[in-house]
Structure 1
Amino acid sequence: MIRLKKIAVFLVMLLGILILLFFIVTGLLKPNYEGNIEFNSLEKEVSIYYDTYGIPHIYGETQEDVYKALGYVHAQDRLWQMELMRRIAAGKLSEVFGEDLIATDKFFLSLDIEEATKKTVANLDPKSTVVKLSNAYIEGVNKFIKEGPTPVEFYLTGIEKKDFKISDMYNTMGYMAFSFAMAHKTDPLLTNIKEKLGETYLSDLEINVDTNTVWLKNYKPPISDTLQIKRKLKNTVATTVNKALEKLSLPLFEGSNSWVLSPKKTKKGAVLFANDPHIGFSQPSVWYEAHLKTPDYEKYGYHLGGIPFPLLGHNRNLAYGLTMFENDDVDFYYEKTNPTDSTKYKTATGWESYSYVSKTIKIKGEKDIRFTYKKTKHGPILNGIAKQVRGEKPISMSWTYTLCENKVLDAFYKISTANNFKEFKQALPGIHAPGLNVMYGDVEGNVAWFASAKIHTLPDGINSKMVLDGTKGKEERLEYLDFSKNPKAINPPWNYVYSANNQPDSVEGKLYPGYYLPENRAKRITQLLEPKNDWDKEQVGTMMLDVTSAVNPLVVTELGKVVDVKLLNDSQIEVLDLLKEWKGDYPIDSYTATIYHRWIYYFIKGTFSDELEEELFSEFLGTHLLKRIIAPMAAKSESVWWDNITTTNRKETKQDIINSAFVAAWNSLEKDFGKDYKKWTWNKVHTLEHEHPIGKVKALRSFFNVGPFPVPGTREVINNMGFLYNNTGKYKVTSGPSTRRIVDFSDVENSMSILPTGQSGNPFSPHYQDQAEMFVRGEFRKMMLNKKEIQETSKSLLIFSPN
């Protein structure tokens, strides 16, 4: 008995020591949100008030001072995220995660982002304001690296903290530009389909523009759009690579919604601005919020890791946001190597020499390896690097991001410092890639949408979604269009602008090719906006949470027309009738939503998997192309894809595919959830977990990851919770609103926002996941601008002193 008591006492003491150590470690590693820190290079003191959600409100006398402070506080909350972001384009992930990431490092090195960064940085003017403020931000980041606590991820992975440089900013922007590039998933796939099956199989894949879809309408006002339009207001106010990146839970840009309502559409007669960029979910979430204020500058902004200037932002005068333009800025080319000299390739003017770039890749726990890739005048050769590039013919990649002068950082600085519509518009031509829909609204009543990108043209008749011929000079880029020819709408007479990544209307009779998403979200947005002229911010918030598809019920109607009910049992017929009455909504207790998507998966699989086989079919499921073809394929009566080429005794029809898909879906749902279809609810299959790279380790998952949560919504509704179809029947949400943000110019100090998890990426911070359940419930919080209110409600004060 005495021995047992001693053991019990020992265990209690051990537990107490462990708890004490945990609190000591937590105290040492968590961010410092209060106190006084010496920062000798500051001109004057900087005060940082942290609000309830850990968002810094930074007050200083000069922009350089507040950017130094921003760099420090950004790093103390997000240094691990910033570290990974700068490593991707530079091919330095294997150094952290080992040999499994060698292929990813090789791919990103071969994209030439780092080489383009070197050229850009070499040509920077060190005296320019952009460079000075960037260096101020970097100084703050590096001060934290030198003096602040090391984030726990650095200990777990065994890597050292190293100073940041301005080149890291450009490498990060290059990675984010690539994450848009749907061409990497689509062009090689379509070319493989053409070469394997023939052109007939391309005709039903909606490669070209659908003339019946909902387009983004252009509008240029009759007066000069370089002038502010003032109104009297009522109130004065890459497939393999992508899989690797998904495993690391790194953000990939996917889509986005935005709409901006002019005063005539709102209850209080002031502009209402809404934006929710759709990005791959990760932990920490992609945006870092910060409010900066000096005597001559103020911005409440959303920052990418390692980037000083906000990509989304607002103040009392104007607001701006982004969605993805989805234009085609990548062209692939077949090259021909000289049969007698492998160092040369064929051009229209003769044989030219390949150029070679060599890099060293450091691998955790292994010896360094040397990696060399070759380039033509078009760009790098991707054979043997990108798995979706198949065959022996060399294929090069021509990408606008690396080919054109990079002024993106300058553009976002000018955007973030613009004081009015004229200054704002003048900054936009600096965005060359990735293509962005830039959304704008201001206190004067202006609303605008600009497709911002360097758009290039190819010779007539050339399909940019196929691999082109690089040997004859007949399929080369002809020119980059002047920004004035880009799609846009400025103060249109229908009194709103919007974007849902859908096809823009023509400019001068020309439709620009791209990888636009289907009309689903666009159709729903316009359905809701058109009839109503008394919007307020609460109603806009409700609209942002809308989970009804305007298209999916039409798909059910088309499929239902050809179902042979004689092959169905009574329960199946009952459910089919329920589906025909379904409104296309996705609350978590819906069973019709579950049945619809299971049916659609088997419909897609039955239609395409026999021709494409496993590998190509898997690639196909990850493209925007798939999203575009579901409704059109459901409506077609004839298609070459209906026949199952693995059967020889008959030719299958659309009815065969749809009947077998419905039965397969039914049987799989019964197997998963039992015979009572009312228990096949959406919450059982549609879940969101915000994954941290370290959360892949099972023992650490609950500490680093946030969730999982059952969530409403689905692919291509306004509350866009995206997922990939697969044979599990479970729809793990991978992308969605990276923030929901509403700016109301009738009451700008009460504008609203939310983040998917929290402001901090430090798991010891109280703000690591304090917004996660609010996000799932569809709640918002205030984006504070009023200094008095900020001071009175501040949870802590951090002061940087020059001595």
Structure 2
Amino acid sequence: MTERSVDTTRRALLGAVAGGAAAGGFLGPVRGYLSAFAPLSGGVWDAASDDPPLRIASDHGDATLRYDGAAVPRIEADGEAAIYFAAGYAHGADRLFQMDLQRRQMRGQLSAVVGEATLDSDRFHVRMDFAAAADATWDLVRDTEAGPLVEAYCEGVNRAREDLPTPVEFELLDYEPAPWTPADVMLAEKQIAWTLTGSFRTLRRETLRAELGADAAETIMPRRLDHDAAILGHAGATDDWARPDGDASRLPPATSDAENETDRAAVGTDPGLDGWLAGVEPPAWAGSNSWAVGVDHTDSGDPIMANDPHLSLMAPPVWYEQVLRHPDYQVRGVTFPGVPFVIIGENDRGAWGFTNAGCDVIDFYEYETRADGAEYRYGDRWRSFETETRSIEVAGAPDRDVEVKKSVHGAVLSAGAGGDEFRDELGVAWTGLSATNATNGILGITRSRDAEDIDEALREFDEPTQCFVYAGRDGSVRYRVTGRVPIRRTDGELVPGTRVFDGSAREGEWAGYTPYGESSWEGFIPFDEMPHDDDPHYVGTANQRVVDDADYPYYLAEDYSEPFRGIRLWERLDTLVERGDVTPADLRDLQRDVHDGRLEHYRSVLEEARSELSGDARDDLDAVLEWDGEAERGARAPLLFVHFLDAYEGRFVADALGDLDGRRDASAYAPNRWALATLGDEWFDGGRASAAADAFEKARERIEAEGWETYGDYNRTAIDHPFDQSWLNYPRYPTDGSAATLFNVRVEAGAGSSWRQVCPMDGTTSRCILPGGNDGNVYSDDYDSQLRRWANGEYKPMDRAMRGDLAARFVGGDGE
């Protein structure tokens, strides 16, 4: 790993620190909070120059660690414990600050190093008690096959922590990282599960129902978007996909929205609670693409699979790439820093990927209370809330006490204020609050030799709910929705999870669920009855609806992503398969597709706006209407279009939602871009045409004020370090794509394709790319070395050979 010029970097650092406050973004609430750097110290420069020892003693046997030209560690050993010890060492060397910051966020310990600005985040994470859920998960995993490997990995992280200079970020914030523990590994898994499945949409929808009425709530946040792009039931599926074979008498009947309503009136959440939760809710944009084409439709006669998960774009990236070589398997792919096993990738027998399934695995409960809120009724009994006062350490300020409160359902959240007209205290049930065994599921996938091994591994994969796509070198293809999905029951009858439940009346119960303990999962959709398809002709996922309700008897989800990517994926994939002889190049080209389907969906809205415009504004609108929908960096039309969409949503929020009972951010209640296009005149002051014309004018004004000429002037790689200093941030490169294209770039949200892989099963080399660099050391030439290629839609080889510069030999015993 080469170094940047220390003198140049020193000047940049001096300028950055002298320039004042640091502001940055890191998976949520850290942005804008890191305002105080520690004084410069010699340790900052030590981090740039010290090399790791080449021989390192290990209690787990011999292993070799090499780094290739893209800073990807390649690790080889005869024993798995030796491999994962070395992997831990590499993670600790390359990503320790990222790992520690994520850990602090989930444990509610950011304020200890950041100060008062992160107190809301810390209070939420302490009250949810993700740390206790991680402890319960480690208690479950400890004595399984994965347990010793997790322990060896943590030993490797801590050895690097001891051997190597402290990363520069710790020097700047003036604190030392604590040892990495197995519970921290479990906590990292909880973090991504919460990012993908934690959602307060049910609360927002019920608040809309209380404030505007049931019809308005259904119009603004519809449960079903009108499209035909569901994942299952498409032409590529087999004849027996997804249809459960169990006893039909126990399956819930299909129900309409009207039948789902209860007699209880909708009650909005307290504005204080609503505002607090809005600041800590995971982003709604988390999604991904994946697809696989079977043997009958490829040029080689072997399947091909592709995956690109859409997550935060960060410096360093959310993923860490690694190659692990064992006598029984060789695997390459990505994991989350702090987690030992490859999560998305390829071994010598097959390749796999994940996309978010959107399943509803969280519910909310209100209670009848007494004894000043210390007790709650649960059925015919009164119970005491489990309560505990914990202290949150705050840098530069007094510590704060927070009450951690729990019920039979899980965490109990409140903003500490509110009246009878609001729900100001809610119980939260979430599958991730229970002990889960995804760790062994991922290990099983890594070790898999065929599709049957994959099937068995996925039985252990209980969080998060994901669409899993696999292609094997034996010709097999798999699609399955993974994870535990609850079957809710009220008085023995099955109900959907679309309302806040009366916890005291024991509505919406999950049989077999134990928060902060080990669940039996007996009241959840059985594994064999989850949506799946064995050996489909071809399959594609883009976070759209998994299956139509009429074809599947269980309630899966309250909401799915906008279907623009799913529709485009099926259009392109159908065409490729109909043509035949699909190649890896075809699927890489599909991953680079930048057609924005929102243009046709909004065409009638734009045409109505045209009559309200004149002169240059009408000319610009005509250019958008004549545009082919390709979101390319050199064009002007996509620049106008995406800013029109933003302004049009803003106009809807102002006209239809107003201050929405004084809530902090009414835009959180805005419809998605699919539903927004369907709203008529009654939702806009002065009608839809006038609102659209006004939005188009505002888009033009913003573009002129910013000095943008083409889409690429705006659509750039704005990927920043948490400290948001120029010397730490990645370069800005123009790129193609939008939030609604398969080549996914979400500039305003700081998100997009966080990893791309295309894996043919014919023996040719797979291809991949990261949005940045694998090395988290800002002094390394590999800190951002892949970013330009990522922005340009290029790839690098994804081989599993043992090559590169020797970094360390791990030797048994004392290393002599």
TM-score per shorter chain, which class? 0.7 to 0.9
Q: Which stretches in structure 2 are left out of the alignment for 5+ residues? A: 1-6, 15-39, 244-272, 512-522
Find out whether 1:29 has 2:76 as its counterpart.
no
Equivalenced residues, count:
729
Q: What is the aligned counterpart of 1:599 among 644, 656, 661?
A: 644
Name the residue aligned to 2:57: 39
Distance in 1 between the 2:691 and 2:467 partners?
39
- Give the Å deviation of 1:410: 1.5
| 1:400 paired to 2:442 | no
Corresponding residue for residue 268 of structure 1: 300
1:425 corresponds to which residue? 455
Partner Cα separation in structure 2 for residue 544 and residue 462 of structure 1:
39
| Distance in structure 2 (CA, Å) of the matches to 1:709 and 1:101 | 31
Partner of 2:564: 520
- SS of the counterpart of 2:732? strand
Q: Find the aligned partners of 1:452 and 1:105 in 2 and give their Cα distance.
A: 30
Which residue, 339, 360, 382 being the options, matches 1:328? 360
Shift of 1:155: 1.0
In structure 2, the CA distance between the partners of 1:18 and 1:216, relative to structure 1 (3 Å rule), is closer
1:728 is matched with: none
Look up the match of 2:584: 537
The 8 Å contact of residues 721 and 735 in structure 1, kept in 2 or not, is answered as: yes
Matched residue of 1:39: which SS?
strand
CA distance in 2, matches of 1:27, 1:666: 47
Match of 2:520 in 1: none
| SS across alignment from 1:331 | strand
Q: Deviations over 1:695-731 (max 9, x none)?
A: 2xxxxx12111123332111121011124xxxxxxxx
1:715 counterpart residue number: 739
Letter in 2 for 1:609: A
Partner Cα distance (1:379, 1:104) in 2 = 19
- The one-letter code matched in structure 2 to 1:717 is T
* Alpha-carbon spacing, 1:28–1:243, altered in 2? closer, same or farther (3 Å): farther
Q: Deviations over 1:251-300 (max 9, x none)?
A: 99810001111122222221111110001111110111111112223211
Tell me by how many angstroms 1:800 deviates.
2.2
Aligned partner of 1:705 in structure 2 is 729
The corresponding residue for 1:315 is 347
Q: What's the CA shift string for 1:393-450, capped at 9, x where partnerless?
A: 42221111114x3111121111211111101111112222221111111111111211
Q: Does 1:800 align with 2:815?
A: no
**Contact 1:42–1:65 (Cα < 8 Å) also in 2:** yes
SS of aligned partner of 2:411: coil
Residue of 530, 533, 536 corresponding to 1:489: 533
Q: Per-residue deviation at 1:606?
A: 2.2
Q: Which segment drifts farther, 474-483 or 99-108?
A: 474-483
**Aligned in 2, Cα 1:251/1:515: closer, same or farther, shift over 3 Å?**
closer
Q: Which residue identity does 1:758 align to in structure 2? A: G
1:563 alignment partner, SS class: helix
Residues 57/242 of structure 1: CA separation in 2 closer, same or farther (3 Å cut): farther
CA spacing shift, 1:552–1:31, aligned 2, 3 Å = farther
Aligned to 1:10: none
For residues 131 and 386 of structure 1, what CA distance do their matches in structure 2 show?
43
Say yes or no: does 1:467 pair with 2:511. Answer: no
The structural deviation recorded for 1:741 is 0.7
Q: Find the partner of 2:593 among 546, 550, 565.
A: 546
2:693 to 652, 655, 659: 659
User: Out of 772, 777, 801, which is 2:787 matched to?
Assistant: 772
CA separation of 1:334 and 1:72: change in aligned 2, threshold 3 A: same
Separation (CA, whole Å) in 1 of partners of 2:242 and 2:702:
60
Cα distance, 1:32 vs structure 2: 7.1
Q: Aligned runs of 1:155-554 on 2, under 5 Å?
A: 155-181=171-197, 183-184=199-200, 186-217=201-232, 219=237, 254-338=286-370, 340-384=371-415, 391=422, 393-403=424-434, 405-459=435-489, 462=495, 464-477=497-510, 479-492=523-536, 495-505=537-547, 506=549, 508-510=552-554, 512-532=556-576, 533-549=580-596, 551-554=597-600
User: Residues 109 and 213 from structure 1, CA distance in 2 versus in 1: closer, same or farther, beyond 3 angstroms?
Assistant: farther
Q: Distance in 2 between matches of 1:66 and 1:99?
A: 41
Q: Partner letter of residue 598 of structure 1?
A: H
Q: Which residue of 2 aligns with 1:634?
A: 677
Residues 243/158 of structure 1: CA separation in 2 closer, same or farther (3 Å cut) = farther
Alpha-carbon deviation of 1:672? Answer: 4.5
SS of 1:133's equivalent in the other structure is helix
Query: What's 1:691 paired with?
Result: 720
Q: Pick closer, same or farther for the CA change 1:240–1:63 going to 2, 3 Å.
A: farther
Between 1:373-382 and 1:607-616, the stretch displaced more is 607-616
CA change 1:223–1:106 in 2 (3 A) is closer
The verdict on how the C-alpha distance between 1:733 and 1:394 changes in structure 2, with shifts beyond 3 A counting, is closer
Summarize the Cα distance change of 1:465–1:657 in structure 2 as closer, same or farther, 3 Å threshold: farther
Amino acid at match of 1:337: T
**1:63 equivalenced with 2:106 (yes/no):** no
Task: Please say if residues 316 and 745 of structure 1, whose CA atoms lie closer than 8 Å, have aligned partners that are also in contact.
Answer: no
Distance 1:17 1:153, change over 3 A: closer
Amino acid at match of 1:599: F
Measured after TM superposition, the shift of residue 577 of structure 1 is 2.6
Distance 1:448 1:158, change over 3 A: same
Could you list the per-position Cα deviations for residues 153-177 of structure 1 after superposition, in whole angstroms to 9, with x for gaps in the alignment? 1111111132111111111111211
Give the TM-score normalised by structure 2.
0.83
Q: CA deviation at 1:38?
A: 2.3
The equivalent residue for 1:747 is: 763
| Cα displacement (A) at 1:141 | 0.8
Counterpart in 2 of 1:140?
156
| Conservation of the 8 A alpha-carbon contact between 2:60 and 2:152 | no
Query: What is the aligned partner in structure 1 of residue 631 from structure 2?
Result: 586
* Paired residues of 2:363 and 2:497 also in contact (CA < 8 A): yes
Q: Distance in 2 between matches of 1:298 and 1:440?
A: 17
Separation (CA, whole Å) in 2 of partners of 1:375 and 1:341: 16
- Secondary structure of the 1:76 match is helix
Q: What is the distance in 2 between the residues matched to 1:323 and 1:265?
A: 23
Kept in 2: contact 1:69–1:140 (CA 8 A): yes
Tell me the alpha carbon deviations over residues 432-487 of structure 1, each in whole angstroms, 9 at most, x when there is no partner.
22211111111111112111121112357955333222222234346311011211
What secondary structure does 1:134 align onto?
helix
Kept after mapping to 2: 8 A contact 1:327/1:435: yes
Q: For residues 4-19 of structure 1, what are the structure 2 equivalents within 5 Å?
A: none
> Is the 2:224–2:559 contact (alpha carbons within 8 Å) kept by the matching residues of 1?
no
Q: TM-score, normalised by structure 1?
A: 0.84
Query: Alpha-carbon deviation of 1:197?
Result: 2.1
Paired amino acid for 1:716: A
Report the counterpart of residue 234 of structure 1 in structure 2.
none
Shift of 1:671: 4.7
Conserved 8 A contact 2:718-2:732:
yes
Instruction: Give the 3 Å change call, closer, same or farther, for CA 434–31 of structure 1 in structure 2.
Output: farther
Structure 1 spans left out of the alignment, 5+ residues: 1-13, 226-237, 645-651, 674-678, 696-700, 724-731
Pairing 1:99–2:116 present: yes
One-letter amino acid of the structure 1 residue matched with residue 538 of structure 2: Y
Task: Tell me the residue number matched to 1:681.
Answer: 710
- 2:449 maps to amino acid: N
- The alpha-carbon distance between structure 1 residues 708 and 164, as it changes in their structure 2 partners (threshold 3 A), is same
The aligned residue for residue 268 of structure 2 is none
